A = this chain, B = another copy of it.
C-alpha cells in the first residue's frame, strides 16, 4: 500500500490505491525467493523481461504474506530486468501484477512452526510467462532497489516497537502465572522460588535496555531520517527480537504445557518473533554491519591512543609536565 502511495503514477494510484484504501482489495509484496539466499537481495533470480509493450515475468517466490487472503488482488513483484548491469543495485525492478493474470500458480501456504496464519497465509507462488503491460512498472526500470530501501528502515523499527509491546505482555503473563495460587509447587507459589524472581528481574532489565535502543533509533530517525540512522536501526533490529525470544521463553517455561499451546499467546508470539531474526536482514548481517561501522573509527582511535601513550611516557620520564 505504501509503495502505491509513495511511488505510484496517478493511473496506478487510481486503479490500486483507491480500492486498497477503501478496504475492498488487498495487496502482497513478492520479494523472497526459494532457491537463493535472500539475505543478500542481489541474489534475486526472477526475471522481468520487456517484450514489446509488455513485461514477461518468470520466477518462484515464497513467503508472500497476505497472498492467501481471497481479497488479495494484486502483487508487487521484485525481479531482475537487467541482470547484466554492472551496477548491482540497478539490476532490479518492481512491477505490479494483478493476481488474476494468467500464468500465476499459488502453490501452497508456508507454515511458521505449525502456524499457517490462514487466511492471509504466507504463500509460495509460481510466475510462469506472466505478462503485464509496461505501464505496470513502478518508478521505472532498474529502480526496484530504491523502492525497497525506502521501505526497510522504518519497517525494521516498527517490528522492534511491536516486539517491545509483546515482551511487556509476556512479562505480564509471567507475573500473573507465578502468583496464581492454583500453581503452587512443593508448597510454594512459583513467585517464591528465587530462580523465578531472578527470571522476572532479568526480563525487566532485558526489556528496558532493548526499549532504550529502539527509542534511541526512533529519535535518530526523527533527527537524520532512516538513512542516517542505519546503525541505530540495525542495533535495535539485532537486539530486540532475540530479547523478545528470551523473555517469551521464560514466560513459556513458567506456564508449562499451557505455554506452548493455543491457550496463551506465548508460542504463537515466539514463532513470529523467531522469523524476525532473519526477516528484513538476518542478525548476522546487521551485526557485521555494526561491527564495520565501529571499525571506521579505528584509525582515529589508534592515533589518539598513541598520543596519550606518548604523553604519559613524557610525564613519567620527566620530559613533560602536568
Contact = CB atoms under 8 A, between A and B. Distances in A.
Interface stretch (A4-12, A112-120, A159-167): A112-120
Interface string A272-287: 0011011100111111
A294 B171 contact: yes
Interface stretch (A15-23, A148-156, A205-213, A314-322): A205-213
Contact of A205 (B39, B239, B260, B263): B239
A257 interface: yes
A287 to B, nearest CB: 4
Contact of A208 (B216, B270, B287): B216
Interface string A75-116: 000000000000000000000000000000000001111111
B113 A175 contact: no
SS of A interface (majority)? helix
A303 to B, nearest CB: 9
Report the copy number of this chain in the oligomer.
Answer: 4
B253 A205 contact: no
B278 A197 contact: no
Which one of A32, A112, A198, A275 has the highest number of Cβ atoms from chain B below 10 Å of its Cβ?
Answer: A198
Interface stretch (A46-54, A66-74, A136-144, A188-196): A188-196
Contacts of A260: 111-113, 271, 274-275
A205 B213 contact: yes
Interface string A26-44: 0000001011111110010
A197 B262 contact: no
Interface stretch (A125-133, A177-185, A222-230): A177-185
A62 interface: yes
A26 to B, nearest CB: 20
Contacts of A157: none
Contact of A294 (B201, B253, B268): B201
A244 interface: no
A319 B252 CA distance: 31
A270 B112 CA distance: 12
Given A197-B288, A290-B204, A114 B213 contact: no
Given A115-B113, A208-B213, A295 B200 contact: yes
Contacts of A295: 175, 178-179, 191, 197, 200
Interface of A: 32, 34-40, 43, 62-63, 110-116, 171-173, 175-176, 178-180, 182-186, 190-191, 193-202, 204-205, 208-210, 212-213, 216, 235, 238-239, 252-253, 256-263, 267-268, 270-271, 274-275, 277-279, 282-292, 294-295, 297-299, 301-302, 304-305
20 contacts: A35-B182, A37-B184, A37-B185, A38-B256, A39-B185, A110-B262, A114-B271, A172-B301, A172-B304, A176-B301, A179-B299, A194-B196, A195-B195, A197-B295, A201-B287, A204-B235, A205-B238, A205-B239, A209-B213, A253-B282
